[in-house]
Chain A
């Protein structure tokens, strides 16, 4: 019997070396057509990840990787639909916050015992990264980064407002101070202080969440929604005071807020780690708009530091592990390759997950890296929940209602509280 299995394995090996093992890979991050295979030259999330995938396709013997990129907006709808339809990609990227939703029904392969064999060393991962991919004490994914909200700063505008000291921007330490800074920028330059996507994706929600966490509160605790609290009100008024004073425009969506910052129309843009290399490249261009770019940790306006954070990770569907060992092995090799190129992914601006990479000189030498060294320590997120997406949606809707449509904070928070409680009860 044993010999038969052995023989079968040998045969399979022969077969795989003869025919390339096709691995389908699902991801977001956008399209990049000309990525090439040079993982150290590409710029921007889309091109860096695609160059890593192309390199895996070229360098891994007997494995060909077929990328199935999907747009951001429908990614999870389509992944869910693909799982339900029995045709999920062999490996796919996802966020840490989605793990409970997928792992809860056993959709993700348990990789715990197979990682070492594939050349992935989980003990090299940072504790936060390991936690991100762990569900019920089993490892269900390979983490790729830790990403968080940062303050992207236009130093020319800050300088003009007298908000630069020792080559670093002076950041507010309280909501009141933030208002003063914003006024100073307005008076000196006529431009807005803060820009962010408050109108489309939940970036405004993440700003509010950070300010809630900074006061030691949270939006839910176990099965109880805790949204309608004084802490939430403080967080919201810290933001809306800027809108009310005309120092920030809540109507800008993601693209518009980014464009405003790049055009030099806002001193600070709140956005994630994923755009650091892109903004650095834009600032280096010799044109109008943003010229002097700096990154800073999300400032502490209340008691303790906190900023919204999440992780990108790669998972393999459990049906593949159960029914197609060859493709499963090939998929693991692809993950090992991506894990190997953690430093290249970190060039986007994301924080690496492997201790050996974090401690390397190459990592420290990445542009602007030292400017947000403190972010890893203050990274936070809401408690894990199967309803994470829906809860974010409720918050996004109600917060937008406050700053875009003038809904009263009382009504919005009461509604958010009830809706989130409903979701937790389901």
Chain B
């Protein structure tokens, strides 16, 4: 550790702090009383320190309002989507990577082409389809479109391809069926890749905005991300800045915690999604 190293860390701490300021400010505002914020947002240290301090915004958030319900919706949608993506991606990924069957290459190419279609290119037809089926304002309407995006299949396919063949062959010689091999041999091996895919999907589901915006018209089916948007555009007349900020903090908490715990996987997910995606 040279002196240059400490200078570097010190020099980077300043931009890192500036980088954090908006987040700190949000948290700090969420702990200040609303009638104070109506007058000034910079009472103590430019508002970066929550003084005068009050937990009222959070109490109110859970007593009234729909934030808890939105939170639950987000949880259902995100977990549901993650499980569904894992299910279809691992199965299809394994089949495409390790099994031999007719039309394999055309199927792979077909799936690959799906990666080129952005969400925005299909959200209008999806909307009309779900309208015809009466599917809007439901959890599955928020989950299903993303399950069809083939990125997970490719991540899993790449992973399964890299597993040595002899593990599988040993099992085959013992007479184990393909599905059993998949379930008892391959899936346990695939745990790290599944973790990566799960986190990638969960983050996407939690933060998705455009599709919930068109599909969920009733607040009962809003996700927290969508709900937050609706609070925001109201805040001129709404419950007050502190409450809005508290909602923002609550909406961010799960993803931030998830990130801090699984940082390793998130980083890997981003790299994998970035290079192969």
Scan residues 130-156 of chain B and give those whose CB is less than 8 A from a CB of chain A.
Answer: 130-131, 134, 136-137
Q: Assess whether B233 is interfacial by the CB under 8 Å rule.
A: yes
Interchain CB contact under 8 A, B214 and A30: no
Select A34's contact among B64, B229, B238, beta carbons within 8 Å: B64
Task: Report chain B residues within 8 Å CB of A84.
Answer: 127-128, 131
Interchain CB contact under 8 A, A87 and B136: yes
Interchain CB contact under 8 A, A71 and B131: no
Select B236's contact among A68, A78, A79, A258, beta carbons within 8 Å: A258
Select from chain B the residue with minimum beta-carbon distance to A88: B217
Interchain CB contact under 8 A, B219 and A74: no
Q: Assess whether A86 is interfacial by the CB under 8 Å rule.
A: yes
Interchain CB contact under 8 A, A85 and B217: yes
Task: Report chain B residues within 8 Å CB of A31.
Answer: 65, 234, 238-239
CA A85 to CA B157, docked complex, whole Å: 37
Chain A interface, DSSP helix/strand/loop, else mixed = loop
Q: Assess whether B252 is interfacial by the CB under 8 Å rule.
A: no
Select A86's contact among B131, B233, B238, beta carbons within 8 Å: B131
CA A71 to CA B235, docked complex, whole Å: 10
Scan residues 163-208 of chain B and give those whose CB is less than 8 A from a CB of chain A.
Answer: none
CA A258 to CA B64, docked complex, whole Å: 27
The answer to whether residues A74 and B233 also contact, given A31-B239, A34-B64, A82-B217 and a CB cut-off of 8 A, is yes
Interchain CB contact under 8 A, A70 and B131: no
The answer to whether residues A68 and B131 also contact, given A33-B64, A87-B137 and a CB cut-off of 8 A, is no
Q: Assess whether B120 is interfacial by the CB under 8 Å rule.
A: no
Q: Assess whether B218 is interfacial by the CB under 8 Å rule.
A: yes
Interchain CB contact under 8 A, A70 and B236: no
Task: Report chain A residues within 8 Å CB of B136.
Answer: 81-82, 85, 87
CA A335 to CA B137, docked complex, whole Å: 25
Number of interface residues of B (CB under 8 A): 25
Task: Report chain B residues within 8 Å CB of A254.
Answer: 236
Q: Assess whether A5 is interfacial by the CB under 8 Å rule.
A: no
CB distance from B95 to the nearest CB of A (A): 35
CA A163 to CA B217, docked complex, whole Å: 49
CA A86 to CA B238, docked complex, whole Å: 30
Contact indicator per residue, chain A 22-66, by CB within 8 Å of chain B (1) or not (0):
000000001101100000000010100000000000000000000
Q: Assess whether A365 is interfacial by the CB under 8 Å rule.
A: no
Select A85's contact among B131, B229, B235, beta carbons within 8 Å: B131
Q: Assess whether B250 is interfacial by the CB under 8 Å rule.
A: no
Interchain CB contact under 8 A, A71 and B130: no
Scan residues 366-422 of chain A and give those whose CB is less than 8 A from a CB of chain B.
Answer: none
Select B127's contact among A33, A44, A81, beta carbons within 8 Å: A81
Interchain CB contact under 8 A, B219 and A255: no
Q: Assess whether B23 is interfacial by the CB under 8 Å rule.
A: no
Interchain CB contact under 8 A, A68 and B219: yes
Select from chain B the residue with minimum beta-carbon distance to A263: B39
Task: Report chain B residues within 8 Å CB of A70.
Answer: 217, 219, 230
Q: Assess whether B237 is interfacial by the CB under 8 Å rule.
A: yes
Scan residues 24-73 of chain B and give those whose CB is less than 8 A from a CB of chain A.
Answer: 64-65
CA A72 to CA B231, docked complex, whole Å: 10
Q: Assess whether A73 is interfacial by the CB under 8 Å rule.
A: yes
Task: Report chain A residues within 8 Å CB of B88.
Answer: none
CB distance from A190 to the nearest CB of B (A): 21
CA A73 to CA B226, docked complex, whole Å: 13
Select from chain A the residue with minimum beta-carbon distance to B233: A73
Select A74's contact among B131, B218, B230, beta carbons within 8 Å: B230
CB distance from A86 to the nearest CB of B (A): 6
Interchain CB contact under 8 A, A69 and B64: no
Task: Report chain B residues within 8 Å CB of A34.
Answer: 64
Select B234's contact among A33, A44, A72, A86, beta carbons within 8 Å: A72
Select A30's contact among B213, B229, B234, beta carbons within 8 Å: B234
| Interface hub of A31, A34, A69 (most chain B Cβ within 10 A) | A31
CB distance from B130 to the nearest CB of A (A): 7
Interchain CB contact under 8 A, B234 and A71: yes
Select from chain B the residue with minimum beta-carbon distance to A45: B237
Task: Report chain A residues within 8 Å CB of B131.
Answer: 84-86
Contact indicator per residue, chain B 231-252, by CB within 8 Å of chain A (1) or not (0):
1011111110000000000000
Interchain CB contact under 8 A, A33 and B214: no
Task: Report chain B residues within 8 Å CB of A78.
Answer: 217
Select from chain A the residue with minimum beta-carbon distance to B60: A33
CA A255 to CA B234, docked complex, whole Å: 10
A residues contacting B by CB (< 8 A) are 30-31, 33-34, 44, 46, 68-74, 78-79, 81-82, 84-87, 254-255, 258
B residues contacting A by CB (< 8 A) are 64-65, 127-128, 130-131, 134, 136-137, 213-214, 217-220, 229-231, 233-239
List 4 tightest A-B contacts by C-beta distance, closest first: A255-B236, A33-B64, A73-B233, A71-B230
A70-B230, A85-B131, A87-B136 known, 17 other contacts, Cβ within 8 Å: A30-B234, A31-B238, A33-B64, A33-B239, A34-B64, A69-B219, A70-B219, A72-B233, A73-B233, A74-B233, A78-B217, A81-B127, A81-B214, A84-B128, A84-B131, A85-B137, A87-B217
